[in-house]
Every structure is written in C-alpha cells, then in structure tokens.
Structure 1
Amino acid sequence: MNIKQIKAFLAVAESLSFAQAAHQLHLSQPALSLAVKGLEDSLGGKLLTRTTRTISLTPEGDALVPIARRLLAQWQDAEDEMKQRFALQLGKISIAAMPSFAGSLLPKAIQQYHQRFPNIQIAIDDVLSDMVVERVANNSVELGVTFEPNQAEGLTFYPLYRDEFIAILPQGHVLAEQTELTWQALLAYDFITLQRPSSVRTMIEKSLKDAQIDLAVAFDAHQLTTVVRMVSEGMGVAVVPATCRQQIREQGVLERPITHPTIERTVGVICKPRSMLSIAAAAMLDTLVDAYAHTQQ
C-alpha cells in the first residue's frame, strides 16, 4: 500500500466515478484502475464493486474510507512540515557551549540567527568544555562550542578564534599598577581557579608544569562566573579565558595580560560532518563562523 494507491482509491470512493477521479488526479483511467487494483491486491480483497453503470463500495472499502482520509491528511502534514524544515521555517536545534562562550559571545550569534530564521527554536546547554564534545558525540546536541579537543574521532572542528588567557585582579590590588603580569608575581597571592576536571584548570596546570612552576590553589569553583565573583570580592586572583571579558567588566574586575608562560587555545564549533547536520544546524554553523572566525577577542 502506498500513497498513490490511497489517493486513487479515495478519489474513486468519493466520486464513485473512475472518469471523474482520473480527471481529478490527472491520470489516465487505465493507470487509475491499476492503482486501485494494486491496493486491493496488497490488502487481499475487493474494495469496489463495478457494474456496467455503477460503482459502489464493498463493506471493506467503506471501512477504509475514513482510514484513507486520515492517512492522506497525515501524509500532507508530514510533507508540509518537511518542506518548512528545508525552507528553515520550522525546526529546532540544540547547542552545547562552554560557559565562558555561552555567557558572553553566543547571544550575538543567536540574535543574528533568530533575525533570519525566527521560527527555528534554539536550545542552549552551557556545560564544561569536555562535556561539550561528549554531548555532540552522543547526539545529545548537534553543535558544540568549545576549545579544540586533542581527540574527536568522527567529529569536525571549525576554528573560530584564538582565546588567550588573562589575569584578573580585584580593584585596588597591589599588582594593578603593572600593565603585564608574570605567573611568578601572580602566584604570590591566593589563587582561585575552576575545579577539576575542567579544561581551563587542566590547561593551567599543564602549562605551569611545563614551565616548572608550582601551582598552589587557595579556592576552586565550579563555574567561571563564580571565580570572577570571588575575585571581585577580594578573595584572590585568577587566570581565565579572555572570552570572559564581558563578565569581568560587569563585575568591575581588573584584567591584565599574563606571560611566562602565556596560555592560549583555539575556540571553535565541533559537530558531526556537515552532511549529517540538519538544515537548521548547518545554518547556525555558518552564522557562528561568519560572526567569529578569524577575530580576536
């Protein structure tokens, strides 16, 4: 049973005329008859009774009419929905983004996308960088924004920009007069950072280990917003991705370049190969790349 056969049967059942039904469907009468016969053969019995002058429905044919109408309506609804999805007039996408990006830069891209495609729903999940990759890999989301992973088998990474880590200090701190800070100078004070297993914490620890610098952590927190808040309250100093600048400025915290060593990492979009993305997700990927690729934060 297929949709062509359903349409043929319903046209004949409603008009009780093969000639009228054939005209309505723009088919020849032999083609229409063949479609109805194919439906009868697939179902296992007669749906119509024909004499030389009249056509009538068998009891089974009469029972099929409301079912056929529902099937045809559902088919039309499905066809309309898919056309809307391909035209970006309907759909939903899910994005996982590390908090530093989700809370600062992502809203700009979301706004641009929404202006172009107002009927596409967007769900945003702000999670730690490592979890972004995991959620894309297990199909929980279509797109992720994160630091470039060391390994991402089966996934594609689209670089956006290089994010350099910066030092942040509370207002009035004794290091505030310096235009650039070294790790040795910064670590003379209580240091605040993210809890393990965050990628930010991992990058800081690895970079300092390579530079043979001991890291003593006074406080750690689960979110970068909490780290910035603790610094603003004078509890210590921290090093965070420059993507956090908006939150830093909102909290009135000072920022300074940090060297010896510098830490930087590429931020980008990670996803399945483009051919596997929905039309809506592919359009969002293009929006993110157009908004941020090759720009310095």
Structure 2
Amino acid sequence: MNVRQLRAFVAVAQALSFAQACERLHLSQPALSLTIKSLEQDLGGALLARTTRSVSLTPEGETLLPLARRLLADWDNAEELLRQRFTLQRGNVAIAAMPSFAGNLLPDALRVFRDRHPQVNVTVHDVINEQVLEMVQHRRVELGVGFEPHAHSVLQFTPLLLDRFVAVVARGSALAERAEITWQQLLDEDFIALQRPSAVRLLLEQSILEQHGRLTVAFESHQLSTIGRMVASGLGVSAVPSICQGQMHELGACCVALKSPGIERQIGLLSLPEHKLSAAAQALKEVLIHYPWAVPGSIA
C-alpha cells in the first residue's frame, strides 16, 4: 500500500465516481482502475463495489476510508514540514560557543542570520571551551565555536579569526597609562584568573611557564564578567582574549597590549566531519564562515 494508491482510493470513495476521480487526479480511467485494483490485491479483497451505473464502498472500504484520510493528512503535513525546513521557512539549530565569543562577537553574526532566516530558531549554549568540544562530539549541538583543538581531535575545525591575549588592568592604575606591558610587569600584581578547566586558564599557564614559572593566582572566578568587575575594583589584574575587550571596558576595566610572551590562538568553527548538517545548521555555518570578524575595541 502506497501514497499513490491511497490518494486514488480516497478520490473514488469521496466522489463515488471513477470519472470524477480521474478529473481530480488527472489520470486516465484505465490507469485509475489499475491503481485501485493493485491496492485491492495488496490488501487481499475488494474495497469498492462497482457496477455499470454506480460505485459504492464495501465494508472493508468503509473501514479504510477514515484511516486513509488520516494517513494522507499526516503524509502531507510531514512533506510540508520537511519542505519548510529544507527551504528554511522554519527550523531549529543549536550552537555551543565559549562565553568570550558568545557574549562579544556571536550576536552580530546572529543578527545577519536572523535577517536572512527569520523563521529559524537558534539556541546558543555559552559554555567553556571543553564543553563546546564535548557537545559537538556527542551531537548535542551541530556546531561549536572554540579554540583550535589538538591535532588528534575527531572534530573538523574551520578558522574564523586569530585572537591575541591582552592585559586587563584598573583604569586608574599606572599600567593603564602604558601602550603595552610585559607579562613580568603584569605578574608583579595580584592576578585574577578563570577557574580550571577553562581553556583560557590552561593556555595562559602553559604559555608563561617557561619564562615566568607557575602562574600564581590571587582570585579565581568562572565568569569573565566577574573578573572584569574585580579588576575594575582594584583587586588585581588579568589577561583575557582580545575579543573580550569591549566587555572589559563596559565593566570598568582597561585593556592594554601584552607581550613577552605574546599569546595568540585560533578561534574557529567546530563540527563533526561525518555528520550531515541540517539545512538550518548549514545556513548558520555559511554566515559564520563568511562574516567579517573584527575584534571590538581593538588595541592599535
């Protein structure tokens, strides 16, 4: 039993006329008769009682008619739903992004996506970099944005921008007056860091270990916004990705170029190479790849 057979049966059953059903379905009468006959053969008995003057439903035909109508309605609804999703008239897509990106750069790109596809719902999970990798790998989201993973990662990485770390200091401090500062000058102050297992924290520790030894931390927090407020209040200094500069300025802190060593890392799009993206996820991926990324409040 297939959709074509059901449509033919319902058309005849509703009109009780092969001629009228042929007009509705744009079929010849022999073709319609053959379709009905094949349906009856598949099901094992007559569904229509036909004479030279009339057409009527058999008891089995009476049983099938409401079922066939519901099946066709469900089929049409499913067909329309998928058509709308493929044409992005509706749909859903989930993306995971580390907070520094989700809170500073992603909203502008999502505005572009929303303008193009206003009926597609987007869910953003702002989680630490390690959770971004995990959510993509376990297919809890289709796309992620984070730091470039290690060489043996199963994830596909598409670079979006190269981010350089900057120092975060209180606006009234002597360090805020400098054009750039060294790590040694920064580490002479109380240091405020993201808590482990933050990728930012681990990257900073690894990058300065050779020249400056282990990172000594006075304060820790899970949130960049808390770190910005702590620095602005004069509790210490920090270092964050440059994409957070706008956020740090809004929180009352000041960002200064940082050297010796300069620390930078690629930020990009993460996905599973063997996983076929939905139409909505593919459209979002195209926006993110081609968006002209620029770090807000960049230090010259």
Asked if the contact 2:225/2:251 (under 8 Å) is kept, the reply is no
Q: Deviations over 1:118-158 (max 9, x none)?
A: 11111111000111111111111111111111146443211
Instruction: Name the CA distance, whole Å, in 2 between partners of 1:184 and 1:63.
Output: 84
Which residue in the other structure is 2:30 paired with?
30
Which residue in the other structure is 2:196 paired with?
196
Question: The residue matched to 2:174 in structure 1 has which SS?
Answer: coil
- 1:237 is the counterpart of 2:244: no
Per-residue deviation at 1:272?
2.7
Aligned-partner residue type, residue 227 of structure 1: I
Which residue in the other structure is 1:128 paired with?
128
Unaligned runs of 5+ in 2: none
Which residue in the other structure is 1:290 paired with?
290
- 1:78 is the counterpart of 2:116: no
Q: Deviations over 1:19-44 (max 9, x none)?
A: 22122211222222222222223323
Q: 1:154 to 1:4 in 2, by over 3 A?
A: farther
Instruction: Name the CA distance, whole Å, in 2 between partners of 1:140 and 1:151.
Output: 22
Instruction: Name the CA distance, whole Å, in 1 between partners of 2:153 and 2:7.
Output: 47
Which residue in the other structure is 1:157 paired with?
157
Asked if the contact 2:8/2:25 (under 8 Å) is kept, the reply is yes
Instruction: Name the CA distance, whole Å, in 1 between partners of 2:272 and 2:89.
Output: 23
> Cα RMSD over matched residues?
1.7
Which residue in the other structure is 2:174 paired with?
174
Per-residue deviation at 1:90?
0.7
Instruction: Name the CA distance, whole Å, in 2 between partners of 1:212 and 1:236.
Output: 18
Aligned-partner residue type, residue 236 of structure 2: G
Aligned-partner residue type, residue 284 of structure 1: L
TM-score, normalisation: structure 2: 0.93
Moved more, 27-36 or 191-200: 27-36
Aligned-partner residue type, residue 286 of structure 1: E
Question: The residue matched to 1:284 in structure 2 has which SS?
Answer: helix
Alignment of 1:1-297 (within 5 A): 1-151=1-151, 153-273=153-273, 276-292=276-292, 295=294
Q: Deviations over 1:51-74 (max 9, x none)?
A: 232221111111211111111111
Instruction: Name the CA distance, whole Å, in 2 between partners of 1:154 and 1:64.
Output: 51
Moved more, 99-108 or 272-281: 272-281
Moved more, 1-10 or 28-37: 28-37
Unaligned runs of 5+ in 1: none
Question: The residue matched to 2:208 in structure 1 has which SS?
Answer: helix
Q: Deviations over 1:221-248 (max 9, x none)?
A: 1121211121111111000001101211
Moved more, 128-137 or 273-282: 273-282
Per-residue deviation at 1:292?
3.5
Per-residue deviation at 1:97?
0.7
TM-score, normalisation: structure 1: 0.94
Aligned-partner residue type, residue 182 of structure 2: T
Instruction: Name the CA distance, whole Å, in 2 between partners of 1:138 and 1:34.
Output: 50
Q: 1:54 to 1:153 in 2, by over 3 A?
A: farther
Q: 1:292 to 1:138 in 2, by over 3 A?
A: farther
Aligned-partner residue type, residue 221 of structure 2: A
Aligned-partner residue type, residue 168 of structure 1: V
Q: Quick one: percent identity of the two aligned structures?
A: 50
